Amino acid sequence: MKIHKEGYKIIFTVLAILIILNVLLCQFFLVSQFSKILILIISLALWAFVISFFRVPKRISNNSDNDIYSAADGKVVVIEEVFENEFFHDKRLQVSVFMNVSNVHVNFAPVRGIVKYYKYHPGRYMFAWLPKSSVENERNSLVIENEVVGPVLIRQIAGAFARRIVCNLRPETQISQCEEIGIIKFGSRVDLFLPLNSKVHVSLNQNVKAAETIIASV
């Protein structure tokens, strides 16, 4: 397991702040030895949590053009037929995964192919599990064209606490299945918009893992 490059600045900033707070509390305030130890333990636990948020686990998948993998770790909160009006302008099968702060927040490509569309949308920061967050929150939309599945739209959505979405892919980029596509910082959601003939293999409230759990197949 490694640490995502987007986390280095935040990790060391938090470390510096915690060191300063510990020094100030222990040197300039009358606190007991027990309190000093407790403050140190809490600080280390907080720093460990921040580090864990940016972890990038090694995932093993059996790549297949007929399978569509989860793009995110988390819980399935939506499985429904919807009218997608940003790119397809027709009906699609939407499968959404909500990521809480303890989940891995790196996102992975559900299919291999060529990036055909990318657009960043500024927006609000409602809680990511709300249905309106899919079209009103800050988000990135990314479409990967696969020869077997066809085009798949991946939407990275910021949540109430997520304030930055990172995606370095742009149109005409070739990407492999289960390759990293980006990261959303501190709580968020990822929507997949799939062909209507997709056979779904997950259920509502099921916990899934990016690049390991097969969401659907064609």
Amino acid found at 95: V
176 is a catalytic site residue: no
Instruction: State the pLDDT at residue 73.
Output: 95
What confidence category does residue 9 fall into, taking pLDDT thresholds of 50, 70 and 90? Answer: confident
Closest CA to 157 of 129, 193, 194: 129
90-114 confidence digits (pLDDT tens): 999 999 999 888 888 899 999 999 9
CA dihedral 4, 128, 102, 153 (to 10 degrees): -50
| Active-site residue (options: 133, 141, 188, 198) | 188
29-72 confidence digits (pLDDT tens): 767 788 888 888 899 998 888 887 788 878 877 788 999 999 99
Closest CA to 143 of 92, 189, 103: 92
Q: What is this structure's pTM? A: 0.83
132-190 confidence digits (pLDDT tens): 667 777 889 999 999 999 999 999 988 766 567 888 888 999 999 999 998 887 668 89
What span, in angstroms and rounded, lies between the C-alpha atoms of 115 and 172?
5
| Cβ-based burial of 29 (10 A; exposed 0-12, middle 13-18, buried ≥19) | exposed
Which CATH number among 2.70.70, 2.30.29, 3.30.70, 2.170.120 corresponds to the domain 67-217?
2.70.70
What is the residue extent of each domain of the chain? 2-56, 67-217
